[in-house]
Structures are given as C-alpha cells and as structure tokens.
Structure 1
C-alpha cells in the first residue's frame, strides 16, 4: 500500500520543474500511476479547484497527499463492502467464505473463523471496518 511518503515520491516525480506544484494535466497522469481511474479533464480541473487552498490553480504536496489519502480511503471502503452480506456491517465467517469462493479459494466456515480471529481486535467474531484497515496494512 502506498503511504504518505510514497505519495510524496509520486508528487515529486510529476513535479517536473521542481517548483513544488503540479497542474491538472500532471494530476491526471499521477492518478493513473497510483491506480485511480483516469478522469476527464473537466473532472480533474474541478478536483484541483476544490483542493487548491492558495488559489494558484495548482496543487502543492500537502494538497496532493490529501487527495491521495482520500482516494485510498474510498478504495478501501469499496473493498470492505464487497465482503459484506445480509445487511451486515461487518465481515462474518460466512461472508468471508462466500467472497473467497468467488475468488476461487475454497475454505470452510471454521477456517474463515480462524482467519478472522487473526485480526479481530475486539474478539467479537467479525471484522469491522477499522479492523479491516489494520488487516490491509
């Protein structure tokens, strides 16, 4: 997983002139490198405008890292939700078994319970979103 330092490295790679700023065009290329969907020019310009705190039409490193963290948080939430079923807000042994089966891995409910127990910090038998985040690091 790309952390803040990794995001800063990506930022500096695309800050070709070294002025500490990247443009909307540069941002489109950055987002593609870190795996985000490539947005239309208008969308990227809107993102820059929304995050540009000093009004210069460009993103500095802090603004960029904030965007990348937001993108990563959205990806993590979407990944977590793929494991949920039956209106549950947590990953249960049964929902884990189902998702693993979809991924081509056959596991018993007991094996899934054991897998969950490795990251079940509050020992309630399920993985909540915060535990999922710990597990994915």
Structure 2
C-alpha cells in the first residue's frame, strides 16, 4: 500500500456525499471527530480557500498537498524539540548553543544570539516553532 492510496481512502471517507470533493462542512465534521481542540468552521473555510480558492472545495490533489504539508510539519516539530529547552516551547541562545555543541559545532552563545536574531520575527530573543518553520522553509 502506498501513501497516495492511503490518502485516497481517507479522502473518500471525508467526502461524505461522494461527489469527488470535500466541502468545508464535510472537512469540519470529520476533523471535529478526531481533533480534541475546538475548530471553527471559519478556520476550515480559510484552509480550504488557501488550498483551492476557485470553488471552495478540496479535490484529491488539494487534500494530498494538505496531508503532505502536515507530515512536513511533524518532521519539523521533531527537529524543533531537539533544539528547544525542555518544556520551554522555544529555542533560546543557550539551547541552540547546547545542541550545536552536541553536533560538533563550536560557536559562542553570542553567535547563537545573532543566529536567532536573524529569524526572530517578534523580537523576543527566542525562536518559536512558527519562526523555526519559517527559517527552515
């Protein structure tokens, strides 16, 4: 079984009316069943529109792209966790220095401050996951 056919099975499950497209309401109903957080229909509509703005529904190619980007995010989250201080949900100059040292890179904590500052979008001196993702893309 390959990834595309797995995604196709999920797609067909989400496509409640079998028309070959997933509407925002179909996606919203299915996501609410598997996601513990409350997700608003408006949030789902924004996601669908960003993937396929022409008719407001997801075709299989759009759905496949969404699933692939979710997998990439999971890989980035794993990498992010290697660099963050335990439980801090951010990469600090100290935690970056610690990880780079483990990787055999010899940099000072001041150099780590400079590295973080290049990608620190809100100026708080640390990297959040979203800033880390932007840096990696």
Please give the range of the TM-score, normalised by the shorter of the 2 chains: 0.5 to 0.7
The count of corresponding residues between Structure 1 and Structure 2 is 96
Distance 1:26 1:74 in 2: 16
TM-score normalised by length of structure 1: 0.60
Displacement over 2 Å in runs of 4+: 24-27, 47-56
Within the candidate set 8, 11, 16, 1:51 is matched to 11
Aligned to 1:70: 70
Which of the pair is proportionally richer in helix?
A: 2
Q: What does residue range 76-95 of structure 1 map to in structure 2 within 5 Å? A: 76-95=76-95
- Structure 1 regions of 5+ residues with no counterpart? 1-23, 28-43
Shift in CA distance, 101/62, structure 1 to aligned 2, threshold 3 Å: same
Alpha carbons of 1:26 and 1:135: their partners in 2 closer, same or farther (altered >3 Å)? closer
- CA distance in structure 1 between the aligned counterparts of 2:97 and 2:126, rounded to whole angstroms: 12
Deviations along 1:46-69, whole A, 9 cap, x unmatched? x5422334459xx93122112111
Structure 1 position 61 matched with structure 2 position 61 = yes
SS in 2 for 1:126: coil
TM-score by length of 2: 0.60
Q: How does 1:1-137 map to 2 (within 5 A)?
A: 24-25=1-2, 27=4, 45=6, 47-52=7-12, 53-54=14-15, 60-137=60-137
